[in-house]
A and B are shown apart, each in its own frame.
Chain A
């Protein structure tokens, strides 16, 4: 009897053992059965498990012989700024980004507590029958603690099995309904000795909650309206062509559904009396006046005191 006396205590201790916190990176898909030719969506989700996370990097690896990557969507991502935008390189998708202020989970009016947040969505098409795994590798998840401490991470990959489509059945095609333009954004001009030899540059980052930003275009012009033929694709940060900052700068963000948002950065206003050419003219006039005054004084003094 005596040897069992501590049994309840042991059970209680086990039940109340402080769990080892580990964030979870999970590949999830709403599709359970996949037919050859069918497109399906796989989301990379971050479940913080109560931790505060502010930086994530890693790569998604997929079997290229079995599936084809059709699209990558970053709409509705918890990542505010991408250091490396998710992009395909052979059978890998590398990604790296930050969440300023940290992320603990998504709050909502229709549920209690926190829900995992989406990092990005991948759209695949099954090329042939067979089983495959889409994996997450080389991950780093960092705590929002001001030190960049590595968080423990649990990985959950996505295993699937593609089967032959039923005869006569049409393979499902993925389509995203996005009619909203990217959100309003505010580019900023700056310069710093640490980059671009201290030249003025422009930074910008727009958000799109549905399909995500596809690309940016910009143009610098003296006119108040953008010339539709002069747009060129750019990335932030962008070194300004007009370092005098006298141009209007138009920036166009286009989402993956083709919706566009154009914003303008006004030229730096300088009153006429602050322009360099005006400064030079005033300086020259001043110099001439000074010389005339000196000459006049010289003549006057010479007349009064001829011995000078």
Chain B
């Protein structure tokens, strides 16, 4: 082996390693952006969103512009207009419930103290329900737009670290995996959490598929997104497909290449440079006959102890009752090892729905 060839070999291996590491670094999936925008601060002599005025800053308003004929407009300590020195007729048309008669000022209540809030935004599925959990309990939900985008605002929070989780529910009632992140919330500011991309839902049409036949892998994601479907075998198989305007995707996977036995599939979506995390895994068997998969969505709710369709504080409480007690019922012993310990709680926490 010549010296030149050895140098070339080293260079080649270096290059391969560099590419490998770059791919690893980029495969992190979803990247969240966490920023803050200052809330209106009443008393800083500057009119901000949500304030009518602030100190001497009246935002260009006068008694005349407020519907009076003359007088001196000033600002109340809660950053609302003080029209007590304005004269003549009452304001022409108070915007809402301005109080009848007298010189009472019209207009709605205005924020007078900085509020602590978090605004969540990102992509789900078109017209799907998006649910937000705050510290593992349901705090809010919304409906995503036809373009899959959603926004949820949570206000009246305390300063501190919160654990937020978001999931989507598709047109068939199938829930996505939980997307969880912890955010430090600062007092008096609005924290914006952007770039959320909810993982697709996934299902299969057969629980057992005859080797060589197709198994339909389908679900919902963001509209017009590119789906990567991974089917696990000795070596994973990857397939790509797209979602339609409703976010629905379907891929007929040929099982000829798969061995007999259990397999599972999961998917992730990509759109405009952002990538979701992987969906839940859905299992199917490659065998000698075709068996249709059950249509119930409850099949995805593993470890729902009280069978109410949710995994939440009630299930936690039932399992916690049996913590370290002898002979727990089979239903609360989630890993079937004859005892309720930390592992059972960890399994439950993974499948949490709130």
Contacts and interface: CB of A to CB of B under 8 A. Distances in A.
Given A83-B323, A107-B34, A108-B34, A142 B136 contact: no
A109 B36 contact: yes
A7 to B, nearest CB: 10
What bracket does the count of chain B residues touching chain A fall in? 35 or more
A28 interface: no
A198 to B, nearest CB: 11
A101 B136 contact: yes
A109 B17 CA distance: 34
B291 interface: no
A55 B306 CA distance: 21
Contacts of A101: 133, 136, 163, 165, 178, 180, 349, 352
A98 B346 contact: yes
Contacts of A192: 305-306, 314, 318
B181 A107 contact: yes
A146 B34 CA distance: 28
Give the interface centre of B14, B158, B322 by most chain A CB atoms within 10 Å: B158
A74 B160 CA distance: 12
A107 B184 contact: yes
B318 A83 contact: no
B10 A8 contact: yes
A96 interface: yes
Contact of B32 (A99, A107, A144, A146): A107
A188 B183 CA distance: 26
B230 interface: no
A9 B182 contact: no
Contacts of B180: 100-103
A145 B352 CA distance: 12
B297 interface: no
B332 interface: yes
A148 B346 contact: yes
Interface residues of A, number: 62
A146 B347 contact: yes
B158 A195 contact: no
A303 interface: no
A75 B160 contact: yes
A194 B331 contact: yes
Q: Which of A54, A83, A109, A201 has the most CB of B within 10 A?
A: A109
A5 B342 contact: no
Contacts of B302: 146
A217 interface: no
B314 A109 contact: no
A54 B350 contact: yes
Contacts of B318: 192, 194-195, 237
A292 interface: no
A91 B322 CA distance: 27
Contact of B182 (A55, A78, A81): A78
A157 interface: no
B233 interface: no
B352 A100 contact: yes
A99 B345 CA distance: 9
B305 A205 contact: no
A145 B342 contact: no
Nearest to A118: B161
B6 A5 contact: yes
A46 B44 CA distance: 39
Interface string B37-64: 0000000000000000000000000000
Contact of A142 (B308, B323, B346): B346
A271 to B, nearest CB: 24
Contacts of B14: 8-9, 12
Interface string B138-154: 00000000000000000
B159 interface: yes
Given A99-B349, A190-B306, A104 B10 contact: no
A270 B246 CA distance: 42
Given A55-B342, A209-B160, A108 B10 contact: no
A16 B314 contact: no
A110 B35 CA distance: 8
Given A106-B161, A106-B183, A185 B342 contact: no
Interface string B80-109: 000000000000000000000000000000
Interface in A25-69: 54-55, 57
Q: Which 4 A-B pairs rank lowest in CB-CB distance, beginning with the nearest? A: A209-B160, A101-B180, A148-B343, A100-B352
Interface of B: 3, 6-7, 10, 13-14, 17, 21, 32, 34-36, 133, 135-137, 157-163, 165, 178, 180-184, 186, 191, 193, 302, 305-306, 308, 312-314, 316-318, 320-323, 329, 331-332, 335, 342-352, 354
Given A99-B136, A237-B321, 13 more contacts: A2-B3, A76-B161, A78-B163, A78-B182, A98-B345, A100-B348, A101-B165, A107-B34, A107-B182, A108-B34, A108-B184, A147-B347, A237-B320
